[in-house]
Amino acid sequence: MIIWGGAGLVERDDGGCYNLVADRWMPVSTNGAPSARAAHTAVWTGSQMVVWGGGDSVPYGDGARYDRRETVGTR
């Protein structure tokens, strides 16, 4: 499972990837990542997670992709 962003007291600009075998979370790279956001859409293409939209006090019209083969653990 891969997660990105979200909100608590502030919008988040980080994420994590859960390794089922090791039973632990690994940080995902923020290199080229979208800005902090909540209420965004994320889809899995089979090899990449695409994050789009969401926002903070205004809606965003941008996003980014995450390819775990290229960036996991490089944060």
pLDDT per residue as tens digits for the range 23-70: 999 988 888 788 888 899 999 998 888 999 998 888 999 998 888 776
Q: How distant is the alpha carbon of residue 55 from its chain centre?
A: 13
Q: What residue segments make up the domains of the chain, in order of their start?
A: 2-71
Neighbours of 3 (CB within 10 A): 15
Half-sphere exposure of 49 (CA within 13 A, CB side): 22
Q: Does residue 9 carry a pLDDT above 80?
A: no
Which amino acid is present at 72? V
State pTM to two decimals.
0.71
